[in-house]
A and B are shown apart, each in its own frame.
Chain A
Amino acid sequence: MNHDRRRARLVLGVLIVVSLLAITLDLRGGSTFSGPRNVLSSVVSPIQRVTSNVTRPIGRFFSDLTKINSNREKINKLTAENRNLRAKQFTDKASAGNAALLSQTLNLAANGGYRVVPAQIISMSQSGFSRTIGIDAGTNSGVKPDMTVISAGGLVGRVVSAASNSATVLIITDESFKVGVRLAGTQALGVISGRGSGVLDLELLDAQTEVRVGDELVARGSAGGKPFVPGVPVGKVTSVVQTPGALTRIAVVRPFVNLATLDIVAVVLSPPKTDPRDSLLPRPTPTPTPTVTVTVTAQPTVSSTQNPTKS
């Protein structure tokens, strides 16, 4: 036993000296131990990687368990942030689309010499082919009943009632809607009436008039510009109904305005000094309706000249 003790003390002393030597050598900043360290590292690191990978789910579970409260807070925070960002992204996209639509609408108004107030659609009376829409401009902006409402494509409808900050617009597809039109390029007159569906009926007053598919129609204009200012594009003939012996000719017209995706409109406050005649019809003709979608890009020159008229 005594021998054992002495041996143990000797070993202890040797090991302590070795340790201190190692510490000293290492602290002197040399690379004495980089060799053994590298060797051991190349052996141990793969094992560590494996054990770490294998036990990571368990470790994560325990980590989550210990941080369950702060994690929940974090999740709530991120969820709220995510929701806000989504909403922002949506409104950004929508306003980009709206800017394009607005500039197109104002472009039409400027070309026609109409004085307009822009408005956004805030309600529709029914889904599908809605007959009236609510807009966010009213008598405060100068909107009065029996004013023409246009959008980028052309005629949208007319104001039927106006409150201080909103107005109701009867749109052209309504069955009670009637507007006098002129066949573009001719003096032939007709009346367009809504059918409660996506298309309109055209009744030409003179049965002798030649109507062809593709003929375009503009609003004839009412006396004093009420309810319709002259020159607003209305639609395009899609089919002609043959009615031999009848006093009038009937045709089916598709409106230039895509009413399903309508968003930005403009109320015409005063008619132009001179009738714009056919100048507002969309050119080139193959694309009658500047598609009313958010992907439409505004022409930079147009938007820059038209933006000041906003607000």
Chain B
Amino acid sequence: MKIAVLSGKGGTGKTFVSVNLAEVQGHGTYVDCDVEEPNGHLFFQPVWLETDYISRKLPVIDADKCNGCRICTDFCKFNALAYIANQVLVFEEVCHSCGGCFLFCPQGAISEKDKEVGKVQYGKSLTTTVYTGTMLTKEISGIAVIDALLSKIKDIENVVIDCPPGSACSVMESIKDAHYCVLVAEPTIFGSHNLAMVHELVELYKKPYGVVLNKCIDGENPSKAYCIENGIPVLMEIPYDEKLGRYQSEGRIPAREDEEFRDMFIKLQGIIDQEVDYETAISTKW
């Protein structure tokens, strides 16, 4: 099973939940798709065994073959091409690497070149396998790196995917292969607003999901209220705990070092397993 952990905003505890959930899998795999600022490896401190450099395609124009028909500039919905003074200008930062200009050029004047956009690292931390994607500074999209990460784990079981924050393209990419989504939410009004955004996303993708309420304190919890109002299963309420804060700030994995939290995450995994079984049962067609 592949579990994606996501949240509408940063700092709710996505990495905390995914690192510890991956840890209790035994021989599980942790995948950090938060390629703009991957940090799960800080906890796992893996021994890196392999690094792949990831690139995307950019068009290269052969001015001798170009006849100025402008099919490429008209095709480009991102406006990454312009035809000025009898030549095609390419705006590389605007290009989304769709390859359309290359396919449509009737003169065969467009070829493609590779541009490095980031890297994917593979390593081991005790019995847990760690994959981390890192996007290069100044790149505007991490999709190519996330795609490369997901292709690595295609046939692997017991995977926990740590998603980027928010509900935009990079999150959609990260959850596409997931069998179950865990939404992590904070007990604030802002937190519940962002929970609503990812809730909408997982509904749209028709993924089974549940919520982990993190950093719970006494008093009202707008995120919990949102779950009750919308009939969303609450998988677990994790208390605001100084001990956890301490582990976190020291870059340690509570589920690896502390029986109390190991039990907590084993329990969470058990609840997710039940939820998945239930989803499978009710969605079985007769």
A and B are partners in one complex rather than unrelated chains: no
- B interface vs A, CB < 8 Å? none
- A interface vs B, CB < 8 Å? none
